[in-house]
Amino acid sequence: MLQRTCVSLAGLALLASCASTPTATQQSNGWVKDEVADSYVFGYPLVLMSAARDAAVGTEPGQAPFNTLRHAQALPPIGATNPPQPSLDTLDSTGWLDLATEPVILALPDSHGRYVDARVLDMWTNVAWSTGPQLAAGTGTAKGLRAQTIAFVAPGWNGELPKGAKRVEVPTRNAWISVRIQSGGARDLNAVRKLQQAIRLEPLSVFVGDAEPAVPPRGYASGVAGPSRTPAQQVAALDASAFFGRLADALPDNPPTPADPHALKFLADLGVTPGDPVKLPKSSNVLAAGLADGRERVATPPSNLLSANGWSWFGDAVGNYGPDYGLRAYAASAQLGIGTKDDEVRAVVTQDSDGNTLNGANRYVIHFAANQLPPVRGFWTITAYTKDGALSENAPARLAVGDRNGARRNRDGSLDVVVSSTRSRTGNWLPAPRADMQLVLRLYAPKPQATDGSWQPPPVVRQ
């Protein structure tokens, strides 16, 4: 049964206590613990994005300079877990913007009917711009994008932009950009690469020819570059001093969105001031307890997450969180880079219809009724991963079942997906690991019913 409670998590103790903040001499250890936990939830997305930026920007193998795209050249390898749940549906071009000195221009070519989506997230993981609304408004096409030029600028920047460029203000100095191009598998990669090379991401001065371009990074095989630990793992390893130190360092260039003087006041009470060394209370046990509480809250699914038949996914509020700090932190932890309701839905299930953990040694069927197929303007797929989010070595074909790769319907228009580590001769077989696993259903350019609660994925039934 569908569960949905649209309750803003802005009622964190962080905000609820703002009317009667105790003085330093009145602070009890319990108050400090709660404040550390609240501030951890508030600041987690910025610290996580900072870690992701630092891992990706540079000149080492697997890195790229600011304002430069780094193109995946191959599908992710078996066992890849960085990022977790790697997509088999697209090749991704990613980069980090620095808007401190001038705008950065993105020029996207006409995709000639191939599905493409692009998005830019600010350092608090709010979506500053994406192509999803173009599909929702009918200004794009259901199968691709028209040529367009976007100028990303800092707030208040005044100057002349290239003719026809759409101005988009980004509230933080840095931002993360992703352009994903649909791929039909290994035989389709050359066509995707040609389209990648036609994308331009350059500072304004380079785009108009007043400066020399940076040396572009070489392509990379998706999933094999970068540090051994994910940004989320790096942040999880930080103690209170290191976490709040990174938060203080990032705040001057990346002010909170929305502006929240109360949250900054509570940080100041803890000795965390933007741009200054942190001076946390000298209560190590209390700090550690508050940090542990904050981590638990970040990892706990919020009440306004959509859930049905064992699946869970983000609804209408994703991508632009306002003061819903709980949802924002959980979304960053679970699906860093997730777009808006118009961009993507990624539903995850780890249990079957009887509440038992999914395991590829069993055989499961997911039955979509003819009128309950995933509602999309783009396309949809289902992929099986290990419980840690890796592609399984037991599924060398690395198949993802969906409407773009030959999923067959039944005579009545319904569709069955058979999930098992053993090949099935019936239905649409999805190879699975011979161990505990998770399934991810991706809806690219979803229709409104995918995020407003009126549609739900069917149960995973063991046979």
pLDDT tens digits, 19-71: 334 444 334 567 899 999 999 999 999 999 999 999 999 988 889 999 999 99
pLDDT digits (tens, 9 = 90+) for 369-383: 999 999 999 999 999
Residues 344 and 430 in one domain: yes
Residues 220 and 236 in one domain: no
Residue 60 lies in a domain: no
Residues 287 and 337 in one domain: no
Residues 342 and 195 in one domain: no
Residue 411 lies in a domain: yes
Residue 61 lies in a domain: no
Residue 239 lies in a domain: yes
Q: Check residue 317 and give its pLDDT.
A: 93
Residues lower than pLDDT 70 in the chain? 1-29, 77-82, 135-143, 215-227, 394-398
Residues 239 and 255 in one domain: yes
pTM: 0.89
Residues 201 and 349 in one domain: no
DSSP conformational letter for 209? T
Number of domains forming the structure of the chain: 3
Give the C-alpha separation, 257 to 331, whole Å.
16
Instruction: Please report, for the domain that includes residue 338, its CATH number.
Output: 2.60.120.600
Residues 273 and 313 in one domain: no
Residues 195 and 249 in one domain: no
Residue 2 lies in a domain: no
Give the C-alpha separation, 154 to 102, whole Å.
8
Residues 291 and 199 in one domain: no
Residue 165 lies in a domain: yes
User: Domain residues for 335?
Assistant: 306-321+330-462
Q: Check residue 136 and give its pLDDT.
A: 67
Residues 200 and 240 in one domain: no
Final residue before a domain boundary, out of 191, 209, 225:
225
Residues 98 and 164 in one domain: yes
What lies within 8 Å, CB to CB, of 245 at 6+ separation is: 277, 278
Residues 189 and 108 in one domain: yes
Q: Which two tokens stand for residue 347?
A: 């539903």
